[in-house]
Amino acid sequence: MNMTSLTQTIASLLEAHPERPVLVALDGRCGSGKTTLAAQLAEPFPGSAVFHTDDYYLPPAQRIPNWTETPCANMDLTRLREEVLVPAQAGAAVHSRAYSCREGAYLPEQCVPPAPLYILEGSYSHHPILAGFYDLKVFVTCSKEEQARRLQAREGERYENFVRRWIPLEEAYFAQCRIEALADLLWDTTNL
């Protein structure tokens, strides 16, 4: 799979469904390039909208006890589904509020007008309570060595937290929900 064929796949979906929006989800390993890929995929499709699962963390006070041991327990996927996917699929404007972990607060509401193409990127975007909304599910991956290199460069001193917490939680989610196996396409970014 290369960018041209992925773009052509999305263009074909848009052509096949001119009466409604097309929804694409990019799930996969942290550091594999989901955010970059989402931005690149949106470029050739004017008016498209990109959303990030990272905007749908639960505030710490709303997380279950021992959430660090349960995949996806730090995410508000119900809010993501209701704020983004339900209106997007219906062709309506999307009113969303990102939760900022850094600020420990919800950011002001954003209104995104109806779009022909919606791209949701981020870990847990293929979760079973969301999976039925998409026309295309892409699993983005890279080798463990490349993942480590990218995360060390991106996260610096926070890298060890990824090794101890985030990577094991993601890998458990991928295994429990068969995320890679149920994806429509696999995108390996190791050599990109």
For residue range 14-28, list pLDDT tens digits in order.
Answer: 999 999 999 999 999
For residue range 146-158, list pLDDT tens digits in order.
Answer: 999 999 999 999 9
Domain ranges of the chain: 3-188
Rounded to the nearest 10 degrees, the angle between the axes of helix 3-16 and helix 34-42 is 50
For residue range 95-153, list pLDDT tens digits in order.
Answer: 999 999 999 999 999 999 999 999 999 999 999 999 999 999 999 999 999 999 999 99
**CATH number assigned to the domain with residue range 3-188, chosen from the 4 options 3.40.50.300, 3.40.50.620, 3.60.9.10, 3.40.50.2300:** 3.40.50.300
Q: Which tokens is 146 given? A: 């490349």
Q: Cα–Cα distances in Å, from 72 out to 76, 124, 165?
A: 8, 7, 12
Q: Cα–Cα distances in Å, from 52 out to 24, 84, 98, 142, 175?
A: 12, 10, 9, 20, 22
Q: At 192, is the pLDDT very low, low, confident or very high (cuts 50, 70, 90)?
A: confident
For residue range 47-71, list pLDDT tens digits in order.
Answer: 999 999 999 999 999 999 999 999 9
